[in-house]
Amino acid sequence: MDNPLKHIVILGGGSAGWLTAGRLAAQMQQREQQLQISLIESPTLSTIGVGEGSWPSLRHTLRQIGISELTFLVRCQASFKQGSKFIGWRNETATGHYYHPFTNPVGYTEINGYQHWQSSAQAMPFADVFCPQPAVCEAGRAPKQLATPEYAQVVNYGYHFDADKLAELLTEHCTQQLGVNHIRDHIEQVECHPNGDIRALIGQQNGPITADFFIDCSGMASRLIGQHYAIPWQAVTQVLPSDSAIAVQVPYAQNDSPIQSTTNASAKPNGWIWDIGLYHRRGVGFAYASGFCDKAQAEHTLLDHLRQQLSEEQVATLTPRHLKFTPGYRKKCWQNNCLAIGMSAGFIEPLEASAIAMVELSINMLCEEFPQTRRHMDILSQRFNKRFDYRWQRVIDFVKLHYVLNKRQDSEFWSWQRQPESIPDSLQTLLALWQFQTPSRLDFIENEEVFTSASYQYVLYGMGAHSQQIKDNNFYQSQPRANTLMQQTQNMKQQLLQGLPENRSLLSAIRQKMTTEVVS
């Protein structure tokens, strides 16, 4: 019998597990569909809790789950993220940087902004010519005002947040408001039907926990898709060699220290350092390749970087945490009645916060094309696997783009990144194409690309590349409009800088507002 699905089991908590549970439960509640959702979380295993940056898409996800933005900001010690700032990636110049903002260039679909930048505004960085957001970020401004409605924006934004606290908030909301059954147990065995489908997970305390559909959010352990089904892991160390990281939680020098508006990514010998500003602390870490740098060197690089900002006594109090991973992804995320979401499905490296974005893309596709029966599942799984094989390849191409154009000479790590044999054929083709034309929507064929062509432009031209385009009639005809848009962008910069509060000021005001509302 091809009966409707009645019970879903999600194995694993953390951001991936609880975001999946929340979106599914909220959707089923909205549709008044009778479907039980259980999440099994080991009482002995802790989440990694390092990834603390998101894309703007998380706003949509949290809103759909039904969580107040103000509650999220306060409970998760969150701050606003408006993009990424890349420091020293082109070369070793300490002051050299470029932005990848979350806002597309003004007039992006009207004109070829690159040509007009080259023609009349080369003295300014590419991202600054048609986008006001880099100036907003450089000034440490927030992306909205206190009066702006929840999840609405003045300029586009995502978040920096405490991943452990987000999991706590989602656990509370999903179990108390959305009816998710939370099971604390350690899974010892997987029991299958004759056709290979999972019938039950055998818990140490609960015994068999049966379901119709299983979602593997067990992280790097990949208990179901990896260990049970043995779906191969497609390692990509031949393209992106970073396989290690060292992370620390850094206190602010003062309680009122400014909170940066971007994830700061600083290139260093043998890797790069991320710096994420939350409300109560910073999350700082060094991503590197163990083939070029050992743990001791990595720790020295990170702590030496922090010594430029902290006293020796403050540095001595930090507790570095070493992490190890193999960059790559599963060739199939969906096997039989089991779907992998999160790090069990893939992880490339911390750059550009692609991990949580891929979680959200997975959840969105599952919610939009949810299997009604087991037979329906076979059709959807093929579509899902094809789509996400493509998406992982695009993540790899985009992350690699940040490295291939570097001119750093300080370590073998950076020179290796430029070697042609380390560049995927798909990216090599695009790089050859972009010597003659700018990245555009024609280069990316999916209706929901992981990264837009605007993102490729920000990185490509931020890293110093150039396209040898001929000035044709379209260029000359669009020149008056381009000049107008460039002036509008500069005017918008001034208006935003005058009208937007600083990050910490807005976040503190939100806390005060929440306190006042609770008291009253």
Mean pLDDT of 228-256: 95
Containing structural domain, residue 296: 244-324
Q: What is the pLDDT of residues 46-65, one digit of tens each?
A: 655 555 899 999 999 999 99
Residue 149 has a pLDDT of 96
Cα angle, residue 432 at apex, residues 430 and 436 outer, rounded to 5°: 100
286: domain CATH number is 3.30.310
Residue 51 has a pLDDT of 53
Tokens read off for 215 = 């979602």
- 507 belongs to a structural domain: no
- 301 belongs to a structural domain: yes
Whether residue 482 sits in one domain with residue 412: yes
Helix H, strand E, coil C: the string for 475-490 is HHHHHHHHHHHHHHHH
Residue 473 has a pLDDT of 84
Whether residue 486 sits in one domain with residue 337: no
Whether residue 332 sits in one domain with residue 202: yes
Helix H, strand E, coil C: the string for 37-68 is EEEEECCCCCCCCCCCECCCHHHHHHHHHCCC
Whether residue 177 sits in one domain with residue 123: no
Residue 146 has a pLDDT of 96
380: domain CATH number is 3.50.50.60
- 514 belongs to a structural domain: no
**Stretch among 30-44, 259-273, 350-364 having the lowest mean pLDDT:** 30-44
Distances (CA, A) of 433 to 109, 112, 130, 192, 290: 20, 16, 23, 49, 33
Residue 126 has a pLDDT of 95
Helix, strand, coil % in the chain, rounded to nearest 5: 40, 20, 40
User: What percent of the chain is predicted at pLDDT more than 70?
Assistant: 98
With contact defined as beta carbons under 8 Å apart, do 7 and 371 qualify? no
Tokens read off for 498 = 């005058």
**Of 393, 421, 442, which marks where a domain is finished?**
393
- 270 belongs to a structural domain: yes
**Stretch among 271-275, 343-347, 468-472 having the lowest mean pLDDT:** 468-472
Whether residue 44 sits in one domain with residue 179: yes
Whether residue 204 sits in one domain with residue 170: yes
Whether residue 335 sits in one domain with residue 313: no
User: What percent of the chain is predicted at pLDDT more than 90?
Assistant: 86
Kindly indicate the confidence band of residue 94, based on its pLDDT and cuts at 50, 70 and 90: low
**Of 393, 420, 442, which marks where a domain is finished?**
393
Whether residue 180 sits in one domain with residue 166: yes
- CA-CA distance, 103 to 455, in Å (whole number)? 9
Residue 137 has a pLDDT of 97
Q: Chain-wide mean pLDDT for the chain?
A: 93
Whether residue 346 sits in one domain with residue 274: no
- 484 belongs to a structural domain: yes
Whether residue 410 sits in one domain with residue 278: no
Residue indicated by tokens 């990848």 = 100
Distances (CA, A) of 231 to 149, 243, 324, 358, 393: 45, 20, 21, 19, 17
Could you tell me whether strands 281-288 and 271-277 are parallel, antiparallel, or unpaired per DSSP bridges? antiparallel
**Of 393, 415, 435, which marks where a domain is finished?**
393
Kindly indicate the confidence band of residue 43, based on its pLDDT and cuts at 50, 70 and 90: confident
pLDDT at position 519 over 60: no
Whether residue 279 sits in one domain with residue 422: no
- 81 belongs to a structural domain: no
Q: What is the pLDDT of residues 399-454, one digit of tens each?
A: 999 999 999 999 999 999 999 999 999 999 999 999 999 999 889 887 778 899 99
Q: Number of structural domains, the chain?
A: 3
Residue 52 has a pLDDT of 85
pLDDT at position 204 over 90: yes
Sign of CA dihedral 267, 271, 276, 281: negative
pTM (2 d.p.) = 0.95
Kindly indicate the confidence band of residue 265, based on its pLDDT and cuts at 50, 70 and 90: very high
- 445 belongs to a structural domain: yes
With contact defined as beta carbons under 8 Å apart, do 329 and 189 qualify? no
Q: What is the pLDDT of residues 135-169, one digit of tens each?
A: 999 999 999 999 999 999 999 999 999 999 999 99
| Among 488, 386, 397, 479, CA closest to 439 | 397
- 500 belongs to a structural domain: no
Q: What is the pLDDT of residues 105-140, one digit of tens each?
A: 999 989 999 999 999 888 899 999 999 999 999 999
Whether residue 405 sits in one domain with residue 490: yes
